[in-house]
Amino acid sequence: LWDFQHYRVDMVKIDRSMLNQTENKRGAAIFRGLVAIAEELDARVLCEGVETCLEHSFAQSSGCHYGQGYYFYSPMSAVDFGRML
């Protein structure tokens, strides 16, 4: 059994499946609840699978600090990433 008091949580990553549920009131409330828990732990929040402007706006307005997904950039090879830098 884990004693969570001994572990520091720096980042909470919210799965894409949770973001998909935010189109309804209940799903949006659960998403915001996860962000609130992360805030209480003084953790940053990363939302995974952001694909649209609407999803990005919702995540950002809900308190997410970081986003990951096609909205920001599509996958690329290491070589292409090096060129981009």
On the 0-12 / 13-18 / 19+ scale of CB atoms within 10 A, 32 is middle
Q: What is the pLDDT of residues 8-60, one digit of tens each?
A: 889 999 999 998 888 899 999 999 999 999 999 899 999 999 999 999 999 99
Residues 52, 23: contact at Cβ < 8 Å?
A: no
Residue 59: how many other CB atoms lie within 10 Å: 26
Query: What is the model's pTM?
Result: 0.81
